[in-house]
Amino acid sequence: MAHLDSAAETAANSGPWGASSDGRADLSPLEWTVVALAQRDRIASLNEPGAIARAFGGLFGLGRQSSLADPRLEALRRLAVYAWHKGYKLPVSEIKRFLAAGFSAGQFETLLASVANRRIERRRSVAA
């Protein structure tokens, strides 16, 4: 456990992409809920609808999946959606958005490690 704490502290202090260096590596229960719910979101949920899609949505009452009202949680959701679907292949713009929302590099690493572990568990259960 001490190794994980040390690694999180090192990552947080390195400050990639202007990350906060407060050393926090944990997420709140609400933030973990957002990460868990992001597993079911599609990457398409991150795109803004075009003019035609908005017109049809208004005409037929088809609402698009809304983003979260809190910009900080929306940055977390966006990064989590990419992590669930792409693993470590994350767009730099989303990493920057996540860190600019006030999350630390330690929280970034914690999120990715957690999602990676769950993805591995899911593959193992499917293969078994």
Backbone Cα Rg of the chain: 17
22: pLDDT strictly greater than 80: no
92 pLDDT tier (thresholds 50, 70, 90): very high
Q: What's the pLDDT score for residue 67?
A: 77
Q: What's the pLDDT score for residue 64?
A: 56
Q: What's the pLDDT score for residue 52?
A: 74
Closest by Cα among 17, 47, 37, 30 to 84: 37
Closest by Cα among 128, 38, 32, 37 to 81: 38
7 pLDDT tier (thresholds 50, 70, 90): very low
Average pLDDT over residues 81-89: 95
Using a 10 angstrom Cβ sphere, with 0-12 exposed, 13-18 middle and 19 or more buried, the burial of residue 117 is exposed
